[in-house]
């Protein structure tokens, strides 16, 4: 969960900071048009980079939030079956499988492996399985 929280924090910080910069850059561009070339160029660059990147950052943030729900259900509530996760989170089975694969591909949950129906905790040598 630490990996996911740090990813969420960095994406959120980028999205908020760049959104504020974008909002500030528009009036700065209007006020400095023809007067201060350097500030005008910086404003144009912020606006040009912000148009595609701000929506993408917020979309990425919302995807990570949806992964946080599944990660919390797996780690904290110990729900490992896909059907149980789907009913618990009110999602389709296919959507849960896709998100679990995305979680494992991004290495958010490192000590688990997925067989298509159940996500299994991976045990290291010398550890005993807890009988749940």
Q: Is 13 within the bounds of a domain?
A: yes
Q: Is 131 within the bounds of a domain?
A: no
pLDDT of residue 126: 53
Q: Is 71 within the bounds of a domain?
A: yes
- Token pair, residue 44, equals 């144009």
Q: Is 130 within the bounds of a domain?
A: no
pLDDT digits (tens, 9 = 90+) for 30-57: 998 889 899 999 999 999 999 999 999 9
Q: Is 132 within the bounds of a domain?
A: no
- Could you tell me the sign of the dihedral formed by the alpha carbons of 75, 14, 26, 24, in that order? positive
Question: How many domains, in total, are found in the chain?
Answer: 1
Does 131 score more than 60 pLDDT? no
Determine the structural domain holding residue 46 and report its residue range: 2-121
CB 65 within 8 Å of CB 59: no
pLDDT of residue 124: 56
Q: Is 127 within the bounds of a domain?
A: no
Distance CA 92, CA 41 (A): 48
CB 69 within 8 Å of CB 107: no
pLDDT digits (tens, 9 = 90+) for 96-114: 999 999 999 998 988 888 8
Does 19 score more than 60 pLDDT? yes
pLDDT digits (tens, 9 = 90+) for 51-91: 999 999 999 999 999 899 999 999 999 999 999 999 999 99
pLDDT of residue 22: 95
pLDDT digits (tens, 9 = 90+) for 4-17: 999 999 999 999 99
Q: Is 70 within the bounds of a domain?
A: yes
Distance CA 16, CA 101 (A): 28
pLDDT band of residue 27 (cuts 50, 70, 90) is very high
């Amino acid at each position: 969960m630490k990996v996911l929280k740090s990813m969420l924090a960095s994406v959120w910080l980028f999205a908020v900071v760049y959104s504020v910069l974008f909002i500030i850059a528009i009036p700065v561009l209007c006020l400095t048009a023809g007067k201060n070339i350097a500030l005008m160029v910086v404003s144009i660059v912020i606006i040009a980079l912000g148009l595609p990147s701000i929506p993408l950052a917020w979309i990425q943030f919302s995807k990570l939030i949806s992964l946080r729900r599944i990660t919390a259900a797996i780690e904290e509530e110990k729900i490992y079956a896909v059907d149980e996760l789907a009913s618990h989170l009110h999602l389709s089975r296919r959507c849960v499988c896709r998100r679990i694969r995305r979680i494992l591909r991004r290495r958010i949950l490192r000590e688990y492996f997925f067989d298509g129906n159940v996500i299994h905790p991976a045990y290291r040598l010398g550890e005993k399985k807890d009988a749940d």
